Amino acid sequence: MAAAPAAGPPTASAAPVALVTGSSSGIGRSVARRLAAEGYRVVVNSARSVAEGEETAAGLPDALYVRADVSVETEARHLVESAIDHYGRLDVLVNNAGRTRAIPHADLTAATPEVWREILGLNVIGTWQTTVAAVPHLARTGGGTVVNVSSVAGSRPAGSSVPYAVSKAAVEHMTRLLAHALGPSVRVNAVAPGLIETPWTRDSAFFAPIAQHVRETTPLRRTGLPEDVADAVMGLVRATYTTGQVLLVDGGAHLL
């Protein structure tokens, strides 16, 4: 079973291990902190924000920071191998690392082939490469789990750009395909956040009118927080009879 025993946090020697890609800030950092609070030893990762990643790991008990760009196959493998070398096991993989560009959907020329390759290279191929490297180790636990971070843009005509939305649609179908292929030894699910307040979205003029619309129209009348996504990830980690699901975390925006 991937989650910590219900009776209390596991002992240090038996504590499960979670790897969270892209966890130096925002959603990934909140997921790493939540897993640590639940008794997991956490591998924190980033491709560029090394100081922030090291700071995040330093604030968690028995955590490890590994710099790796998971869009590069050798680095994705190195990340997983570092977790195994340090802890000897891997119970949970959260594929959170991703990138986008703010491009109006109607501006087709701005979504150049280079932009497509950059976004798909991390969001889709990076998720695939890290999962492929992790699966043999997750399977050994007898209850390993993968949680992919998608977006409401994966299923609706929304999102910061067309390439980003397409990448998240691919992640969601990858989730279903892998859940079918890897059961019963590994479960694979995804969360699909709506607009979440992170440093990037708070400082972006692109998202300001979207955030206002969310606050005025959605059933819960607020934008999301990274902790909301962390709650959803933790729920899927615990949901041992659930696989192949994409859980919306959007304050009810999908109802509109």
Nearest to 225 by CA among 189, 252, 201, 190: 201
Count of beta carbons in the 10 Å neighbourhood of residue 82: 18
Instruction: Name the CA dihedral angle for 49, 55, 56, 59, rounded to a multiple of 10 degrees.
Output: 180
Q: Give the active site residues.
A: 164
pLDDT of res. 65: 98
What pLDDT, on a 0 to 100 scale, did the predictor assign at position 211? 79
Write out the chain's pLDDT in tens, 256 residues: 333 333 333 444 589 999 999 999 999 999 999 999 999 999 999 999 999 999 999 999 999 999 999 999 999 999 999 999 999 999 999 999 999 999 999 999 999 999 999 999 999 999 999 999 999 999 999 899 999 999 999 999 988 999 999 999 999 999 999 999 999 999 999 999 998 887 767 767 777 888 788 888 889 988 889 999 999 999 999 999 999 999 999 998 888 8
Q: What is the pLDDT of residue 197?
A: 85
pLDDT of residue 195: 87
Pick among 3.30.1330.10, 3.30.56.10, 3.30.300.30, 3.40.50.720: CATH of 17-248:
3.40.50.720
Distances in whole angstroms, Cα of residue 164 to Cα of each of 4, 67, 187: 34, 24, 25
Report residue 189 as tokens: 């699910």
Rounded to whole angstroms, the maximal C-alpha distance in the chain is 56
Radius of gyration for the chain, computed over Cα atoms and rounded to the nearest angstrom: 17
- The Cα 72–Cα 47 span in angstroms is 10
In the prediction, which pLDDT does 142 show? 86
pTM of whole model > 0.95?
Answer: no
